[in-house]
């Protein structure tokens, strides 16, 4: 890592933490493990959103194509949020915690909105989360294509392995819920 890279990476990690990430770290995108089996989990529709959001399968894209796209970036800023729950059955708390992770993911767009990056891909925690109800449900076009954000899982990313590669815990203690996001990026030549 050269001096300029070190400076940019330090700034990105600090920004993610300042915006509310519990932890954040930069890893090489080549260390991200993908598996098409995650598409099967989406298809099982445990979340109830399969086929109901433009950023979720099947509309987000073919799994092999998306997994291949992950390998086209050089680095990833991986970040996590950790939220306390009333107890391990606090499903409302889990949904609220996921909603709180969306503003962080969107705010990070601004951190990447400068001249250092050749290309950037933002991936969040489960679903898109920009609109209360996705326009896919009424078969209308996406309302905010510039903000729409697919999940790590939609791209076949193994999040527990991502946590390990980033030096973070996948689970952060009893009565807490942890969500992950990542920003894949390549720096411009000369940075």
Chain residues binding ligand SF4 by CB under 6 A are 53-55, 128, 130-131, 134-136, 142-144, 147-148
**Sign of CA pseudo-dihedral 65, 71, 76, 78:** positive
Q: Which is nearer to ligand SF4, 139 or 174 (CB)?
A: 139
Q: Which is nearer to ligand SF4, 60 or 177 (CB)?
A: 60
For the chain, where are the alpha helices, taking DSSP H only? 3-18, 37-43, 63-70, 91-111, 159-165
In whole angstroms, the minimum distance from the beta carbon of 118 to ligand SF4 comes to 25
Q: Which is nearer to ligand SF4, 77 or 142 (CB)?
A: 142
In whole angstroms, the minimum distance from the beta carbon of 89 to ligand SF4 comes to 27
The separation between the first and the last C-alpha atoms of the chain, rounded to the nearest angstrom, is 10
Q: Which is nearer to ligand SF4, 152 or 168 (CB)?
A: 152
Distance CA 151, CA 71 (A): 16
In whole angstroms, the minimum distance from the beta carbon of 163 to ligand SF4 comes to 25
Residues 6+ apart with CB under 8 A from 138: none
Q: Which is nearer to ligand SF4, 69 or 169 (CB)?
A: 69
In whole angstroms, the minimum distance from the beta carbon of 174 to ligand SF4 comes to 32
Q: Provide the 3-class DSSP secondary structure of residue 14.
A: helix
Burial code (b: 16+ CB inside 10 Å, e: under 16) for 33-50 equals: ebeeebbeebeeeeeebe
In whole angstroms, the minimum distance from the beta carbon of 115 to ligand SF4 comes to 26
């Amino acid at each position: 890592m050269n001096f300029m890279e070190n400076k940019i990476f330090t700034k990105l990690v600090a920004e993610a933490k300042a915006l509310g990430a519990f932890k954040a770290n930069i890893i090489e995108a080549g260390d991200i493990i993908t598996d098409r089996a995650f598409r099967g989990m989406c298809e099982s529709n445990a979340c109830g959103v399969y086929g109901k959001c433009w950023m979720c399968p099947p509309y987000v894209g073919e799994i092999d194509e998306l997994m291949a796209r992950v390998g086209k970036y050089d680095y990833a800023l991986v970040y996590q949020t950790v939220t306390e729950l009333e107890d391990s059955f606090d499903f409302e708390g889990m949904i609220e915690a996921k909603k709180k992770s969306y503003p962080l993911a969107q705010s990070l767009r601004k951190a990447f909105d400068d001249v250092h990056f050749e290309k950037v891909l933002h991936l969040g925690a489960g679903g898109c989360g920009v609109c209360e109800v996705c326009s896919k449900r009424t078969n209308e076009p996406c309302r905010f294509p510039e903000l729409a954000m697919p999940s790590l899982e939609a791209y076949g990313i193994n999040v527990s392995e991502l946590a390990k590669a980033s030096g973070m815990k996948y689970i952060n203690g009893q009565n807490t819920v942890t969500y992950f996001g990542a920003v894949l990026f390549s720096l411009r030549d000369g940075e």
